[in-house]
Structure 1
Amino acid sequence: MPFTPKPWPRRLRSQEWYAGMTKDAIYHRAWMKNQGFPADLFDGRPIIGVLNTWSQLNPCNAHLDQLAEKVKAGIWEAGGFPVEVPVFSVSESAFRPTAMMFRNLAAMAVEETIRGQPIDGCVLLVGCDKTTPSLLMGAASCDLPSIVVSGGPMLNGYWRNETVGSGTHLWRFSEAVRAGTMKPEEFVEAEASMSRSAGSCNTMGTASTMASMAEALGMALSGNAAIPAVDSRRRVIAQLSGRRIVQMVKDDLKPSDILTREAFENAIRVNAAIGGSTNAVIHLLAIAGRVGVDLTLDDWDRLGRDVPTIVNLMPSGQYLMEEFYYAGGLPPVIRQLCEMGLLHRDALTVSGRSQWEEVREARNWNPDVIRPPERALAASGGIVVLKGNLAPNGAVLKPSAATPALMVHRGRAVVFEDIDDYKARIEDESLDVDETCVLVLKNCGPKGYPGMAEVGNMGLPPKVLRKGITDMVRISDARMSGTAYGTVVLHTSPEAAAGGPLAIVRDGDWIELDVPNRRLHLDVPEEEIARRLAAWKPTVPVPEGGYARLFHLHVEGADKGADLDFLKGCRGAPVGRESH
């Protein structure tokens, strides 16, 4: 999209704090000078907030303190004034009850950090699953010039001469132990190989998916998504991003200029091509809501339906993020989609150039990692949106990670009322279940868990695993890890805790899954469904106080991005009045 830079020089937002000889200006400058900053740094040059999600309790992001130094070097080089600002860091591996519950809190904190402080632009230093969407949501709400720098994926894991994908092999090895084909001590031995360097998951999990989404949206420099965390080129792109944000401030190139309807349509199609995480659905819906783009679940199904999955990465395929980077990373994927006529070539990026200008010279160095369309992992790789009397507002499924034979299936429901019920009963040898059944998990949506945890890829009953069965149809209002796989129906909306039809499913009910026709049907007479819904009463209590109560009362459904209802829309970053 055409973009016209604003004239430079001009008065910047930060000058409302630092310019002039008023008492307030002297107060602000004097306090900053206790860090040894020279007076001429307050002369009107762009002040850039380096919003850093570094945390030692967030292993994916524990190296971002080092990356921040390279970002700051780039800002200094371009004539800017970098200020590093720690922001809420949501760790996927440690936060309870689930990191997803705190994505919105992090976004709210980031938004107010941007709005309330004297900065003219932002570098969003992200890595772990929720840090990318939360910082993008906050930045979109404020609409100051912003650029994403991802921490990058960790190196490949290896165990007994087998390539090990973080997350994906955790699920596989766990099932093998429960099936009796792997010893517990071997599982522990393999543990050391799963996360052997700094960085986020080395599979196409949610972290790498969201890094790819940031690049596909145009909010990161081309090539940002795939560079391994410990590769020197990760530090190079951090420094280049620091340089770039200064010019973005001078040009007044804002998120609202980049995050257009066309940008989101591009991202949805790129997600299909890379076999991206189902979590991208919720996060892109939330980001779109913040910038005022009317994106819906139906858009996901419509736009992704005819896009082939051409990136051969776990959990859908064979390779890991290292091989993806060596093959060329995301740029040749975007180029391929552009040449197929599937993307908006003119969509603007943070570079000031279009997507097509960024990728037209990109090369694919390994056609088994980034496959040609005729050798795609899945001819129709987009996220499937299912609807029916069991999911009136929609549910999602990832075809590239599912079993083709189960895409049309009718089975008897085996119902778990919540995650505790599932854990208590799934290994019971007397459980009335076989591989033809449909496992149903309730009360794990945004209100139910609370927060909507990644428990939708329920482990199979040991009695089924011992038969050599590795997949069953599973349905829930939960999410699943982007590293997971299986014929798993997720995000069923409305959720059970809000009185959706999932809440009234009973053991022995028959459920029909028809992916080609996008149908999810509870085979129970309409009169009986109406009777059950009329008799339903909430079982999930409203928290007594704190953020948990705020979240419960205001969180929207998964079909709307699970954001808080009062955070929708771009509210800008005005400078408020103050006096000392």
Structure 2
Amino acid sequence: MKEKSCQVTQGAERAPHRSLFYACGFTEEEISRPLIGVVSAFSEIVPGHIHLDKIAQAAKDGVRMAGGTPILFPSIGVCDGISMGHAGMCYSLPSRELIADSIETMAMAHCFDGLVLIPNCDKVVPGMVMAAARLNISSIVVSGGPMLAGKNNAQDISLSKMFEAVGAYKAGFITESDLSQLEHDACPGCGSCAGMYTANSMNCLCEAIGMALPGNGTIPAVYALRVQLAKQAGMQIMHLLNKSIKPRDILTKQAFENALAVDMALGCSTNSVLHLLAIAHEAGVDIDLSLINHISAKTPNLCRLAPAGDFHIEDLYAAGGVKAVMAELAKKDYLHSQAITVTGYTVKENLENAHLSGADGTVIRSIDKPYSSSGGIAVLWGNIARDGCVVKQSAVAPEMLVHSGPARVFDSEEDAIAAIFSGSILAGDVVVIRYEGPRGGPGMREMLGPTSALAGMGLDKQVALITDGRFSGASRGASIGHISPEAASDGEIGLLRDGDIIHIDIPCNKINAEITQEEFIKRKGTKVPPQRHLHGWLARYAKFVSSANTGAAFTE
């Protein structure tokens, strides 16, 4: 059904427009059919995207087989691993907004009837889904799929082990030769890095929320099934178009609650909180941190994938994938079974069609024998996080779930890493990294460097880290991020001093400093924030971005 493209392909007044289509090599037959934008994040710098040219071609083939005309256009994509630990990470989260804006621009300017969205890594997945929700034209997501785990001394490894190896080397636990061997072994080929990091979290949640076909989150990048899935997605967009099924028909409150339930069961990255909040904002759906905490409190954690455990996404795929996790959750009505999905069927019908029994008992635990009765993510509140903060509790050692210790305060990630590697951080400390929030960073840098340094040096079970920045999905330990309000927005984290006692109680959802309100007020008068000399895109981003507790989305 040509709802949009007729504006550029039909009628005598559109003859100039058609002449430009012919200049691109299109035929009359092609421009008489629905025009489907195929958005590929292919590039030669991101391992998760290096093969997306092939996935895009498969999706285009599917569109043609089903009677549409596919038209390819690109999306940018930042590799979080390569941009980690330097100024480049300031651009990672902001790129999500650029991606959504650029897709909106291309779709509106050229009147596409529908979209096949081909992301794979971190901010690209939510950026594309945000655009789909904003545009509300028939859309489907098909990712590039996860990387296979690397092998080192017969052990499965992935990128998180590589970052932690740097800390181990600095501490003298491994040799330079060991480090070199690890860097050659950790990432064996194309795909999104092999653990339950942000990219794989979001690709799995695209299935759970109903915007991607079953298998999107877990079929490995190198499998022929991934190419087949892309062809099926290309064909399916024509079905969605013919049935007039649009993103906002799928992205309902019930769909977000389904995604959050699966998020908690899988133990996804804390970044999923930021992205689901931002997607919900674009879809006009009201979700907040209290709802996320409510769903986490009642949803059991069924999986412990790297970095929280030794399994990787390929193991989850072999155990039945996201479908099996959802089948397990459905046994006790943790899902809204009537929510519609891009298959054209409901969640209940998708699970019935899959003929799955649910948990394998190893990679996916049964609903009656979970790792924990609550979900993988917890939201904490207290006098240094009035608007909340987030922790991946499934990746926290039991002895660190409740912790008190003196603050070691740093105004940048670089200063904190230098202190960790110098050996000046001691067991029991609470490392505080501030002015790294959405506005203060700007861009809310991921703190994989500090968390990996602590883990590699054997301190992740003795030292907590709190920040108004965020964490990579590859982080583990008592890593508490998204503290809101951030230091740059007069949050109390900006008033902390070395030696202040911080109390963390993850099971009770509390985080507090041993400081009175009167003392906070007194310190506010002497506060001298660091100066950030911003220019270009980041200066505009810092001006318009909202707080982490609302998804770090752009304010209207």
Do they fold alike, i.e. is TM over 0.5? Answer: yes
Using the TM superposition, give the Cα deviation of residue 140 of structure 1 relative to its aligned residue in structure 2, in angstroms. Answer: 0.9
Structure 1, unpaired ranges of 5+: 1-9, 567-580
Q: Structure 1: how far apart are the matches of 2:199 and 2:465?
A: 24
Corresponding residue to 1:375 among 361, 369, 373: 369
- Between 92-101 and 311-320, report the one with greater CA deviation: 92-101
What's 1:128 paired with?
121
**AA paired with 1:217?**
I
Which residue is equivalent to 2:389?
395
Distance 1:470 1:313 in 2: 18
| Deviations 1:154-206, CA, capped at 9 Å, x for gaps | 112101111112x2212332232122111122111111111111101111111
Report the equivalent of 1:328.
320
Q: Which amino acid aligns with 1:563?
A: A
- Is 2:105 the partner of 1:90? no
What displacement does 1:249 show? 1.2
Tell me what 2:268 maps to. 276
Give matches, 1:419-430, under 5 Å.
419-429=413-423
State the SS of the aligned residue for 2:390: strand
Q: Is contact 1:435-1:469 (8 Å) kept? A: no
1:298 aligns with 2:286: no
Q: Deviations over 1:276-297 (max 9, x none)?
A: 0000000000000011111101
Matched, 1:41 2:33: no
TM-score (normalizing by structure 2): 0.95
Give the TM-score of the pair, scaled to structure 1: 0.91
RMSD: 1.8
Distance 2:521 2:197 in 1: 39
1:105 aligned to which of 95, 98, 105: 98
- Corresponding residue to 1:243 among 235, 241, 260: 235
Give the CA deviation at 1:537.
Answer: 4.0
2:527 to 515, 520, 536: 536
Matched, 1:554 2:544: yes
Q: Which residue of 1 aligns with 2:491?
A: 500
Judging changes above 3 Å, is the alpha-carbon distance between structure 1 residues 234 and 506 closer, same or farther for their aligned structure 2 residues?
Answer: same
Q: Which residue of 1 aligns with 2:53?
A: 65
Distance 1:345 1:365, change over 3 A: closer
Please show how residues 196-345 of structure 1 align to structure 2 within 5 Å.
196-345=188-337
CA distance in 2, matches of 1:19, 1:288: 35
Q: Is the 8 A contact 1:327 1:365 kept in 2?
A: yes
The answer to whether the 8 Å contact 2:399/2:461 transfers is no
The separation in 2 between residues aligned to 1:460 and 1:244, in whole angstroms, is: 41
Distance 1:281 1:160, change over 3 A: same
Amino acid of the structure 2 residue aligned with 1:353:
Y
SS at match of 2:537: helix
What amino acid is aligned across from residue 489 of structure 1 in structure 2? I
Aligned counterparts of 2:452 and 2:474: Cα–Cα separation in 1: 17
Q: Secondary structure at the match of 1:415?
A: strand
Whichever residue aligns with residue 54 of structure 2, its letter is Q
What secondary structure, in the 3-state scheme, does the structure 2 residue paired with 1:372 have?
Answer: coil
Give, as a single letter, the amino acid of the residue that structure 2 aligns with 1:163.
D
Q: Secondary structure at the match of 1:305?
A: helix
Taking the aligned partners of 2:457 and 2:68, their CA distance within structure 1 comes to 62
| Distance in 1 separating the partners of 2:468 and 2:342 | 36
Question: Kindly tell me: are residues 503 and 490 of structure 1, through their superposed partners in 2, closer, same or farther at Cα, counting changes over 3 Å?
Answer: same
Give the equivalent residue in structure 2 for 1:563: 553
Q: Using a 3 Å threshold, how does the CA distance of structure 1 residues 466 and 27 change in structure 2: closer, same or farther?
A: closer
Matched residue type, 2:377:
I
- Distance (whole Å) between structure 2 residues aligned to residue 215 and residue 394 of structure 1: 27
Alignment check: 8 A CA contact 2:388 2:483 kept: yes
Per the alignment, residue 150 of structure 1 pairs with 143
Residue 500 of structure 2 aligns with an amino acid whose one-letter code is D
What code does the residue aligned with 1:106 have? I
SS at match of 2:59: helix
Partners of 1:176 and 1:461 lie apart in 2 by: 7
Verify the 8 A CA contact 1:312 1:371 in the aligned structure 2: no
Residues in 2 aligned to 1:448 and 1:115: alpha-carbon distance in whole angstroms: 33
Matching of residues 482-521 of structure 1 within 5 Å: 482-521=473-512
2:238 partner letter: V
Q: Whole-Å Cα distance in 2 between the matches of residues 301 and 478 of structure 1? A: 20
2:139·2:237 contact (CA, 8 Å) conserved in 1? yes
Q: CA offset at residue 535 of structure 1?
A: 3.1
Q: CA deviation at 1:543?
A: 2.1
Structure-2 change in CA distance of 1:385 and 1:468 (3 Å): closer
Q: Identify the residue that residue 386 of structure 1 maps to in structure 2.
A: 380
Amino acid at match of 1:539: P
Q: Which SS does the other structure have where 2:44 is aligned?
A: coil
Q: Distance in 1 between matches of 2:59 and 2:434?
A: 44
Kindly tell me: are residues 542 and 554 of structure 1, through their superposed partners in 2, closer, same or farther at Cα, counting changes over 3 Å?
farther
- The CA distance in 2 between the partners of 1:55 and 1:471, in whole Å, is 40
Distance 2:456 2:186 in 1: 23
1:75 aligns with 2:66: no
Can you list the C-alpha shifts for 1:111-145, whole angstroms capped at 9, x where unaligned? Answer: 21222112100000010111100011111111111
Query: Alpha-carbon deviation of 1:378?
Result: 2.6
What is the distance in 1 between the residues matched to 2:337 and 2:344? Answer: 13
How many residue pairs were aligned? 549
Partner SS, residue 267 of structure 1? helix
Alpha-carbon distance, 1:350 to partner? 0.7
